[in-house]
Structure 1
Amino acid sequence: MTAAPALKSLRDSADLRHLRQIIAGLDEGVILIDPDQSILWANAAALAMHGVDAVEDLGATVDAYRAKFQLRYRNNHRLGDDDYPIERVVSGEAFSQVVVEVAVAGEDSPRWVHQVRSLVLTDDQDEPECLVLVIQDVSAQFEAEDRFEQSFNANPAPALICRLCDLKFVKVNQGFLDMTGHERDGVLARTLYDLDILAHADKRDVAKQRLCEGRTIPQMEAELDLPEGGTKLVIVAGQPIDLAEQACMLFTFADLEPRRKAETALRHSEDRFTRTFSLAPVALAIGTRDGHRLCDVNEAFTELTGYTAADIVDRPLGVVDLWETGAIQYEIEGEIAADRPIRDRELRLRLKSGQVIDGIVSSEPIQLGGEPCMLWAMRDISTRKASERELVHAIEAVMQDTSWLSRSIMEKLARIRTPQADPVGVGLDELTPREREVLALICRGLDDKSIARTLDVSGNTVRNHVARIYSKIGVNRRNAAAAWARARGFDGDSLPARHPADAASKEVAA
């Protein structure tokens, strides 16, 4: 480089001694340089910032300093010879806040980060008399920023940093890009006005006010607009931070979309369950696990027991007295308390009318609306039990007098032994009283609506009865059901006995 013009030196002057005394105890590092490019002196802080013990170790001249220490910018670009702060101050350039990384010659990794500014001391003629480098060791600050940068980028939790002075996004991590589908450059080129992450927040006014004041933004639900359309449900919160000595807001997010999808699926599932529960032809009831209190019953339950929802909902089964005896109630409650499911348990049920019937009861623990519940299923098997008792009586009669067997008994024994060979099939006594009423009205040519009005029940209840009749007698059309009834002398003009046990008792007596 071109030699500087000869200038007055402070090397052995009293001014230099006074200057050294002033700066010796400063926390900032100070290096004094003669206009002839020789290093005059450095305080202890400057020596420590270069890892040396004496001024001579810095180098006697600017060129020697440059040979001992390698400088580069924070973006890893090496400084050219003329870009060294010590060269720039010698050339008379004034500068401030220059940040460089300093490495010892021969080492690849820098040891320190220096923030440097220049100062030129002049004489009475305003000529440079001493050149000064003022150095701050900001290694700890930049190490902390580097750690924050690495942690911010590596954190899987989505995050954004917004600068408060202009509300521009200055950092975005991969978690936010993956969650939303945005491109990094597309986010960093925008402001909070362009990419308004608080637009659909449930406490938007609070968030905006806190943002203006630079205060913590509490957690709140929000919906982020996605670049490809649609939205994503999140929880967003803001925390004020300083980044590169600038006030910023760190926004963090939690993705609630899986929760929303799960809640939607659960809601749809519960809707389907509710519809199935209401329309099921089997008597169903839902109760809580705590005290077996009933929460809901379907129409089939009301048809079977006589209890409406208003009669029985929110009442414990024991209080309703649905079980025939306290022993049955105690047994059932013990099974539930032991988490043992009940499968097709034959029990005696007491109807609202006081009548006791034979039934089959099953229970299953379920979750409904996030609450543990019990699903109860009940079926009336009185007809089947009556037939079994009738068969038992018939067999007992046979055993008492084997010299004769009535035709009725022979038919029943044959039906039990080879049911598929029975040309007649199911008899009228297999139908419940209400099913026979419905069949009688079918024989008279009434449709479902007319039957519902006649019996004062809902159309859905009629359809359930018709479906059960079809299933029992093995037909799938109204004409076939009517033909089946007429073949058995049942034309609907006169209704049969209300309870199948009456007919059964008459046949055994015969």
Structure 2
Amino acid sequence: MSEAAFKSLRETADLRHLRQIVAGLDEGVILIDPDQSLLWANDAALAMHGVGDIADLGATVEEYRSRFQLRYRNNHRLEADDYPLERVVAGDRFSEVVVEVTVAGEEEPRWVHQVRSLVLNDSDDGEPACLVLILQDVSAQYEAEDRFEQSFNANPAPAVICRLRDLRFVKVNQGFLDMTGFEREQVLAKTVYDIDVLRAAERRDLAKERLSEGRTIPQMEAELELPGGGTKLVIVAGQPIDMGDQPCMLFTFADLEPRRTAEAALRHSEERFTRMFQLAPVPMAIGARDGHLLCGVNASFTAMTGYDADEIIGRPLGEVELWESGEVRKGIEQAIDAGRDLRGHEARIHAKDNAIIDCLISTEAIRLGDDACVLWAFQDITQRKATELELVEAIEAVMKDTSWFSRSIMEKLARLRTPQAANDGPGLDDLTPREREVLALICRGCDDKTIARTLDVSGNTVRNHVARIYAKIGVNRRIAAVAWARARGFDGDALDRNIEQEATS
């Protein structure tokens, strides 16, 4: 074809017909003369460049290059000879070239085009009569991919994506790298069998079948082999997705290693607790908080009560009749149900042979695994109580005749008999002056007639005073009133001091 024929191409009927064919296409079409001038562009091609006329694209390939800057998706800027327009003019045939298009003077690209070439030859001699550049606006697709890429990389949940065609990993996020210690290049291009994400999976055969079919892989536990040695317990799941036109599988992970470590520590702790519980010299039991059933007893408990573990475990304490009475059992169970822990609570229990055991009972709310439990501790004070009772009886017998004891001995005996009396209950200030006088005479061993003569009152008045004193200090015998007064440093000398004070006033 002659040079004149190329120039006359703008006016030919073939060109008009070609324009009519491509005008309504969704794809963008740019017709280029072999002399590098832009002949025509359809509306779709103009819209893909944000212009309304062919002149705005540029009259020539060179003008187009000055108005629009192109770069590949890897941010590599195209040199002049690499522009699709330049390549098609050079006779290069290509398809699916993806470029980002930036308007001259701007920093960020506006569009992403997928471009292919087409050469229309002269039917006689095979020379190119017209060069065609066909464009598709794939901006939305790549924006979506960019958003996915950003979300995938920013997601703290560990994840990798493998291509189903060859099972090679094509993406890995930072969460997976942080969890496993792999480097990015150690993962990409490897297969799911090089880095086995389904290693030791609970249902590995099912997972492999679903992977081969491109179907959802349900959650299951697995162990990832780490690059530095060792394994990590995870939950893995697979979700089929499409990336571009390629079917892929998105694997997501949850790190179960902290749970495994915590479970191991809990198991070791419970084992240590069990050993200590069984070897403890103090009688102990473990009960369920709900229902008051015993779940375990130690050897000391069995020795104290006579109940073997299989005789008492799993039975309500009310059924076993461990407590002395139903009232005692209800009071203790109500305290536990209310969330209160007992500390040194005195109660009596029945041994297997019906012997009565005096105990100090303490409880502590604990958890064993997922169960709310109560730890019981029993202190057998039967012997101590018997000894104390004998001592009190001996003191009372001795104190029936206190005339030959010194005041210091009387005070010590009173404290032995009622060791808490000086700190608990009513005090001397709760008595009236007259009642203190009566109490002083009682401490001196005077009977009611002697008290009446000393205070110059009737016998009934003395008896009323004594009754009120008993009621206020919580006793019912003269010897107990004397002990109460001695424990507070009060004795018959107080009356003499009062009389002396009155005489000198």
Letter in 2 for 1:116: V
CA distance in 2, matches of 1:324, 1:5: 123
CA distance in 2, matches of 1:204, 1:93: 50
Q: Classify the secondary structure of the residue corresponding to 2:252.
A: strand
Q: Which residue of 1 aligns with 2:82?
A: 83
- 1:319-358 alpha-carbon deviations (Å, 9 max, x no partner): 1111111111111111111101111101111222222221
Compute the displacement of 1:6 (Å): 6.3
Q: Which residue of 2 aligns with 1:155?
A: 155
Q: Which residue of 2 aligns with 1:165?
A: 165
Q: Which residue of 1 aligns with 2:312?
A: 312
Q: Which residue of 1 aligns with 2:22?
A: 23
Q: Which residue of 1 aligns with 2:299?
A: 299
Compute the displacement of 1:415 (Å): 12
Q: Classify the secondary structure of the residue corresponding to 1:100.
A: strand
Task: Note if 1:145 corresponds to 2:145.
Answer: yes
Given that 1:348 and 1:358 are in contact with CA atoms closer than 8 Å, whether structure 2 keeps it comes out as yes
Compute the displacement of 1:307 (Å): 1.3
Structure 1 unmatched ranges of 5 or more: 418-510
Structure 2 counterparts to residues 337-356 of structure 1, below 5 A: 337-356=337-356
Q: Classify the secondary structure of the residue corresponding to 1:353.
A: coil
CA distance in 2, matches of 1:336, 1:181: 50
- 1:167-186 alpha-carbon deviations (Å, 9 max, x no partner): 11121111111111112111
Structure 2 counterparts to residues 441-480 of structure 1, below 5 A: none
CA distance in 1, matches of 2:79, 2:261: 58
Structure 2 counterparts to residues 498-509 of structure 1, below 5 A: none
CA distance in 1, matches of 2:81, 2:5: 21
CA distance in 1, matches of 2:352, 2:148: 72
Q: Percent sequence identity over matched residues? A: 70
Q: Which residue of 2 aligns with 1:453?
A: none
Q: Which residue of 2 aligns with 1:370?
A: 370
Given that 1:362 and 1:378 are in contact with CA atoms closer than 8 Å, whether structure 2 keeps it comes out as yes
Task: Note if 1:111 corresponds to 2:103.
Answer: no
- 1:432-475 alpha-carbon deviations (Å, 9 max, x no partner): xxxxxxxxxxxxxxxxxxxxxxxxxxxxxxxxxxxxxxxxxxxx
Compute the displacement of 1:5 (Å): 6.3
CA 1:40–1:254 in 2, change beyond 3 Å: closer, same or farther? same
Q: Classify the secondary structure of the residue corresponding to 2:377.
A: strand
Compute the displacement of 1:97 (Å): 0.6
CA distance in 2, matches of 1:68, 1:210: 51
Letter in 2 for 1:166: D
Letter in 1 for 2:84: P
- 1:226-246 alpha-carbon deviations (Å, 9 max, x no partner): 111111100011111122322
Task: Note if 1:12 corresponds to 2:11.
Answer: yes
Q: Classify the secondary structure of the residue corresponding to 2:9.
A: coil
Compute the displacement of 1:7 (Å): 5.1
Letter in 1 for 2:19: R
Q: Classify the secondary structure of the residue corresponding to 1:10.
A: helix
Q: Which residue of 1 aligns with 2:63?
A: 64
Q: Which residue of 1 aligns with 2:424?
A: none
Q: Classify the secondary structure of the residue corresponding to 2:115.
A: strand
CA distance in 2, matches of 1:197, 1:69: 46
Q: Which residue of 1 aligns with 2:239?
A: 239
Structure 2 counterparts to residues 389-404 of structure 1, below 5 A: 389-402=389-402
**Where does structure 1 differ by over 4 angstroms across 4 or more consecutive aligned residues?**
4-7, 412-417
CA distance in 2, matches of 1:228, 1:80: 44
CA 1:197–1:5 in 2, change beyond 3 Å: closer, same or farther? farther
Q: Classify the secondary structure of the residue corresponding to 1:342.
A: coil
Letter in 2 for 1:98: V
Q: Which residue of 2 aligns with 1:197?
A: 197
Q: Which residue of 2 aligns with 1:254?
A: 254
Given that 1:99 and 1:113 are in contact with CA atoms closer than 8 Å, whether structure 2 keeps it comes out as yes
Task: Note if 1:220 corresponds to 2:214.
Answer: no
Compute the displacement of 1:189 (Å): 4.2
Letter in 1 for 2:387: S
Compute the displacement of 1:90 (Å): 1.2
**Rg larger in 1 or in 2?**
2
Given that 1:7 and 1:35 are in contact with CA atoms closer than 8 Å, whether structure 2 keeps it comes out as no
- 1:292-318 alpha-carbon deviations (Å, 9 max, x no partner): 111111111111111111211111111
Letter in 1 for 2:290: D
CA distance in 2, matches of 1:33, 1:100: 19
Q: How many corresponding residue pairs?
A: 410
- 1:184-238 alpha-carbon deviations (Å, 9 max, x no partner): 1111242222211212111110111111111111111001111111111000111
CA distance in 2, matches of 1:88, 1:272: 78
Compute the displacement of 1:404 (Å): 7.1
Q: Classify the secondary structure of the residue corresponding to 1:315.
A: coil
Letter in 2 for 1:44: D
CA 1:7–1:271 in 2, change beyond 3 Å: closer, same or farther? farther
Given that 1:32 and 1:39 are in contact with CA atoms closer than 8 Å, whether structure 2 keeps it comes out as yes
Structure 2 unmatched ranges of 5 or more: 418-505
CA 1:6–1:366 in 2, change beyond 3 Å: closer, same or farther? farther
Q: Which residue of 1 aligns with 2:491?
A: none
